[in-house]
Amino acid sequence: MILFPTIELMNGKCVTLTRGRLEEPVIWHVDPVERARSFAAAGAEWMHVTDIDALRGDEGNQALIEEIIRAAGIPVQLGGGFRSREAVTRWIDRGAGRIVIGTMAAHDPDLLRELAKFHPDQIVLAVDIFDGSVMTEGWKTRSAFLPETYVKAFEDAPLAGIIVTDIDADIEDSDGSLAVITSLAAQTRHPVIARGTVRTADDISRLKYVPNIAGTLIGRALLSKDVDLAEALALAAADPEPVADFR
């Protein structure tokens, strides 16, 4: 299982959000570039960056993201505000290892399929779920799509993976969040990357037993030092213990 240590950027600072509320960011006083370097030093194979300002059409973090990509020493999976083919192509040309697409897929699914075919193993679909529906526009708009039918609509696309977030799960209720993600992971052939489920090292161990969970994003727990990245990476890399097959 791949761990994606995560940086969320707002106004050039590392932040975390609760249920996507842009007006209530928690600001962490760490240097984003040094933070990216520390992920690689701890042994991470990938990292994830979300440009929160880009969700609102603000391009103020672009130079910082380019610096992170150059300095990280590991591939960067980048999400936040991708609404056009040009934006996706531009960031792949700038060195982003993967691009995460959410709202665009709901509005123009054929474009997502085209991008996935043109950039194999570089396009990731974001599926953000609230109260049983797929949300778009940075978690602000409820779509008419059910998560199960939405994911199945892209089964033929050569995606690098699907990031699944259960927005409705309470910030302390990792069990509820994992249940939604587990159910959706069972209904797709694409590797699923869980988001919002890791608060302790035990959560990583538990995720490894879920079929088709290929990775997880981990941000707040690292910043709050509830989880040590080197320890988490070791847990993610370890082979899961055999489970008895009861019939």
pLDDT digits (tens, 9 = 90+) for 196-246: 888 899 999 888 888 899 999 999 999 999 999 999 999 998 675 565 554
Q: What is the mean pLDDT of residues 118-138?
A: 90
Query: How many domains, the chain?
Result: 1
pLDDT of residue 55: 86
Q: Which of 24, 51, 108, 128 is catalytic?
A: 128
Return the percentage of the chain with pLDDT > 70, whole number: 90
pLDDT of residue 42: 97
Domain membership of residue 176 (yes or no) is no
Global confidence as pTM: 0.91
Can you list the alpha helix ranges (DSSP code H) found in 24-127?
32-42, 62-72, 85-93, 103-107, 109-118
Cβ within 8 Å of residue 86, ≥6 positions away: none
CA distance 229 to 19: 23
Domain membership of residue 113 (yes or no) is yes
pLDDT tens-digit map of 80-97: 989 999 999 999 999 999
pLDDT of residue 199: 87
Count of residues in the chain: 247
What is the 8-class DSSP label of residue 71? Answer: H
pLDDT at 171 over 60: no
Least confident residue range of 110-119, 135-144, 235-244: 235-244
CATH number of the domain that 219 lies in?
3.20.20.70
pLDDT of residue 179: 83
Q: Which of 8, 51, 166, 203 is catalytic?
A: 8
Domain membership of residue 155 (yes or no) is no
Q: Does the annotation count 31 as an active-site position? A: no
Domain membership of residue 224 (yes or no) is yes
Q: Does the annotation count 241 as an active-site position? A: no
pLDDT at 170 over 50: no
Domain membership of residue 66 (yes or no) is yes
What is the 8-class DSSP label of residue 159? Answer: -
Q: What is the mean pLDDT of residues 12-30?
A: 83
Question: Sorting pLDDT into bands at 50, 70 and 90, what band is 169?
Answer: low
Return the percentage of the chain with pLDDT > 90, whole number: 68
Domain that holds residue 230: 2-123+195-237
Strands 26-28 and 13-16: antiparallel
Average pLDDT, the chain: 89
Domain membership of residue 161 (yes or no) is no
Domain membership of residue 156 (yes or no) is no
